[in-house]
Structure 1
Amino acid sequence: MKIADARVIVTCPGRNFVTLKIVTDEGVTGVGDATLNGRELAVASYLRDHVVPLLIGRDPARIEDTWQYLYQGAYWRRGPVTMSAIAAVDTALWDIKGKVAGLPVYQMLGGRSREGVTVYGHANGETVDQVLTEVARFVDLGYRAVRVQCGVPGLAKTYGVSGDKMFYEPADAALPSEATWSTERYLAHVPAVFARVRDEFGPHLRLLHDVHHRLTPIEAARLGRSLEPYALTWMEDPVPADLQEGFRLIRQHTTTPVAVGEVFNTVWDASQLIREQLIDYIRTTVVHAGGITHLRRIFDFAALHHVRSGSHGATDLSPVCMAAALQLDIAIPNFGLQEYMRHTDQTDQVFPHDYHFEGGYLHPSEAPGLGVDIDEEAAARYPYSPAYLPVNRLEDGTVHPW
């Protein structure tokens, strides 16, 4: 069997996705997600211009060899564009391998380590009362874990607070929108939010919060300590992870667990944080960390250091990526949580799949391969539409992490 064709498909059923579809000379196909939020066309070009010509004629069964060929052979390694492109190839090849074997991918990763994948939803509101209403909605849907984000008094707009509660998409404009941020207002408000949520829903619901890289280490330490009475499952992305030594300062001052890594691309981005046990959950994804092959390496390394998975799963990950993530989540021994933001009906029509949510868990497909595909005819009805993530500024106008 040889790879006969590889097509890059860009579609926008509510938001932009990039998908690679590999076709073998025996008619077996596989799909991989290559979406990079706000920079989708860069990955599409990388695939079309630089990767697809290398795939034609290769043996699709040689997944590891192809991964190394694309990673080491490029010389200019790592980075989100390169690793998202490699991820699409790797994921599509795993899909093909499963179909040839007649097995879901997780069976080739060692089989089940659990019956279902615990996922969390996003409860948000401009006011605390609105937040409580949204948390109750997710509890009623059966969720066992909920991320809580609330508007900050005095700020017109806050990341994570949206009009559309179920299908939140931050990439919302043809040119970046801007918002104003105040760390002081935020730190003063967040503990009171979680006091209300915990009082309303009791001690057993797993609660999470995304800081989104907006604090310094000592500010994050202060936040973590103030949230300790409310027993969060994690405090996500408290500081930018460029200077990883900063996480030591957070660890010295709070026992609130820390999750980080959705912007990481390789094990090297996370190695110090994992090795020194400066984090509790690693949030790298199939699409941004080189596919199933490399993400499994990251999770295996994390398992040696008491770090669990907590993969990113926002709407910029297509159902192709979610299907692949679930195949890995169900198999690894150190699974923690999986983010799950539901896609729109249009997206689900473009990407037919049979993973499903039941009883607070997501369940991977039992079909051979990943159990997901792309309807190219439906995809063609939704052309690419420019959409950027927002920009944050402090009250004095300084650009700040959003």
Structure 2
Amino acid sequence: MRIAAARVIVTCPGRNFVTLKVVTDEGVTGVGDATLNGRELAVAAYLREHVVPALIGRDPARIEDTWQYLYKGAYWRRGPVTMTAVAAVDTALWDIKGKVAGLPVYQLLGGRSREGVTVYAHANAATTADVLAEVGRQVERGYRAVRVQTGVPGLATTYGVSAGGRTYEPADAAVPSEATWSTRRYLAHVPSVFRRVREEFGPELMLLHDVHHRLTPIEAARLGRALEPYDLTWMEDPVPAELPEGFRLIRQHTTTPIAVGEVFNSVWDCRQLITEQLIDYVRTTVVHAGGITHLRRIFDLASLYHVRSGSHGATDLSPVCLAAALHVDLSIPNFGLQEHMPHTAETDAVFPHGYRFADGYLHPSEEPGLGVDLDEELAARYPYRAASLPVNRLEDGTLHSW
């Protein structure tokens, strides 16, 4: 069996997705997610111009060799565009291998380590009262874990909070929109929100919060300490992760668990954070960390240091990526949590899939391969729309991490 063709499909059923479909000379197909939020066309071009021509004629069964070929053979290694493209190929090849073997991918990864994948929902609202109501709705839907994000008094917009009750989608304009940020207002407000959530929903519900890289280490330490009475499962992305040493300072001041990694591309990005036990959850995901093959390397390293998985799973990842993540989640020994934002009905129609949600858990498909496909005819009805992520400025106009 050889790879006969590979197609890059860009579609926008409500938001942009890039998908690679690999076709063998025996008619077996595999799909891989190649979506990089706000930079989708960069990955599409990298795949079309540099990767697809190199795939034709290769043996699709040689997944590890192909991964090394695309990684080491490029010379210019790593980076989000390159690793997202590598991930798309890797995921598609695992899909093909599962179909050839007649097994769901998780069986090829060692089989089940658990019965279902615990997922967390998002509760987003502008006010504390509204976010309490939204947490209640997610609990009623069966979620056992909820990420809580609210507006900050005095700020017109805040990361994670949608306008008018719509599903949150940050890529909101062709040219990046600008938001205003105040760390002082944020630190003064957030602990009171979690106090109210705990008072209303008790100690059993797992609670999470995304800081989204906006604090300094000492500010993050203050927040972590202030949140300790409310027993968060994790405080996500407290500081920009370019400087791992910053997490050491946070650790010295708070026992609130830390999660980080959705912007990481490789095991080398998170090696120090894992081996020095500076984080509790690593949030790397299939599409941005080189596919199933490389994500397993990251999680295997993490398991040696008591660090659990917490893969990114927002709607900027397609159902192809979510399906792949579930197969990994089900099989690894150190699974923690999986993010879950349900896709729109339009997206689900473009990407028919067999995974399902029940009683707080997601379950991957039992079909051979990933259990997800791409309806190319339907995808063609949703052309690409330029959409960029916002930028943040402080109240005095200084550019700040968004």
TM-score by length of 2: 0.99
Alignment of 1:58-137 (within 5 A): 58-137=58-137
- Residue deviations 1:3-27 (CA, integer Å, cap 9, x gap): 0000000000000000000000000
Deviation beyond 4 Å, 4+ runs, structure 1: none
Q: Answer whether contact 1:142 1:360 (CA < 8 A) is retained.
A: yes
2:242 is matched by which residue type in structure 1?
D
Aligned to 2:393: 393
The question of 1:16 aligning with 2:13 is answered: no
C-alpha separation between the residues in 2 aligned to 1:65 and 1:256?
A: 40
Quote the residue 1:140 is aligned against: 140
For the residue of structure 2 that corresponds to 1:271, the secondary structure is helix
1:97-143 CA-partner distances (Å, limit 9, x unpaired): 00000000000000000000000011011110000000000000000
Aligned twin of 1:339:
339
Letter in 2 for 1:75: Y
Q: CA deviation at 1:328?
A: 0.3
Task: Report the alpha carbon displacement of residue 166 of structure 1 after superposing the two structures with TM.
Answer: 6.7
Deviation at 1:164, TM superposition (A): 6.4
Quote the offset at 1:168 in angstroms: 1.7
Query: Which position in structure 1 is the counterpart of 2:275?
Result: 275
Deviation track 1:195-240 (CA, whole Å, cap 9, x = no partner) reads 0000000001000000000000000000000000000000000000
Displacement of 1:74 after TM fit?
0.3
Question: Quick one: distance in 2 between partners of 1:276 and 1:331?
Answer: 25
Partner in structure 1 of residue 330 of structure 2: 330
Cross-structure match for 1:300: 300
SS, match of residue 53 in structure 1: helix
Distance 2:57 2:344 in 1: 37
Rounded Cα–Cα distance in structure 1 between residues aligned with 2:316 and 2:133: 25
Q: Which residue of 2 aligns with 1:316?
A: 316
Give secondary structure in 2 for the equivalent of 1:191.
helix
* Residues 295-314 of structure 1, C-alpha deviations (whole Å, 9 max, x = no match): 00000000000000000001
Q: CA deviation at 1:290?
A: 0.2
State the alpha-carbon separation in 2 of the partners of residues 124 and 321 from structure 1.
Answer: 23
AA aligned opposite 2:44: A
1:260 equivalent in structure 2 = 260
Deviation at 1:163, TM superposition (A): 3.1
Size of the aligned set, in residue pairs, is 402
Unaligned runs of 5+ in 1: none
In structure 2, C-alpha distance between the alignment counterparts of 1:233 and 1:190, rounded to whole Å: 15
Deviations 1:306-343 (A, max 9, x none): 00000000111000000000000000000000000110
Q: What is the letter of the counterpart of residue 194 of structure 2?
A: F
Equivalent residue of 2:362, what SS? strand
Deviation at 1:186, TM superposition (A): 0.3
Q: What amino acid does structure 1 have at the position aligned with 2:105?
A: V
Aligned to 1:172: 172
Is residue 43 from structure 1 mapped to residue 46 from structure 2 by the alignment?
no
Q: CA RMSD in A?
A: 0.7
Rounded Cα–Cα distance in structure 1 between residues aligned with 2:358 and 2:175: 38
Question: Secondary structure of the residue that 2:163 maps to in structure 1?
Answer: coil
1:28 aligns with 2:28: yes
Change (3 A) 1:307 1:16: same
* CA pair 343-164 structure 1, distance change in 2 beyond 3 A: farther
Does the 8 Å CA contact 1:216/1:239 hold for their aligned counterparts?
Answer: yes
- CA contact 1:170–1:389 (8 Å) conserved in 2: yes
Aligned to 1:370: 370
Q: Is the 8 A contact 1:167 1:342 kept in 2?
A: no
Deviations 1:15-68 (A, max 9, x none): 000000000000000000000000000000000000000000000000000000
Distance 2:130 2:235 in 1: 21
Q: Deviations over 1:235-257 (max 9, x none)?
A: 00000000110000000000000
**Matched-pair contact (CA < 8 Å) for 1:105–1:370:** yes
Equivalent pair of 1:13/1:350 in contact (CA under 8 Å): yes
Q: Which residue of 2 aligns with 1:158?
A: 158
C-alpha separation in 2, matches of 1:277 and 1:196: 31
Deviation at 1:167, TM superposition (A): 3.1
Give the 5 Å matches for 1:137-286. Answer: 137-163=137-163, 167-286=167-286
Change (3 A) 1:164 1:15: farther
Aligned equivalents of 1:52, 1:380: Cα separation in 2 = 20
Secondary structure at 2:122 match in 1: strand
Give 1:209's aligned amino acid.
H
Letter in 1 for 2:253: H
1:123–1:165 Cα contact (<8 Å) kept? no
CA distance in 2, matches of 1:325, 1:286: 6
2:331 match: secondary structure: coil
- Name the SS for the 2:252 alignment partner: helix
1:265 and 1:284 in contact (8 A); partners too: yes
One-letter code aligned to 1:341: M
TM-score in terms of structure 1 length: 0.99
SS of alignment partner, residue 330 of structure 1: helix
Deviation at 1:351, TM superposition (A): 0.3
Asked if structure 2 preserves the Cα contact closer than 8 Å seen for 1:166 and 1:341, the reply is no
Give the share of equivalent positions with the same residue, in percent: 83
Gaps of 5+ in 2: none
Q: How far apart, CA to CA, are the structure 2 residues paired with 1:255 and 1:35? A: 35
3-state DSSP of counterpart to 1:255: coil
TM-superposition CA deviations, 1:242-289 (whole Å, max 9, x none): 011000000000000000000000000000000000000000000000
Query: How far apart in 2 are the matches of 1:60 and 1:268?
Result: 27
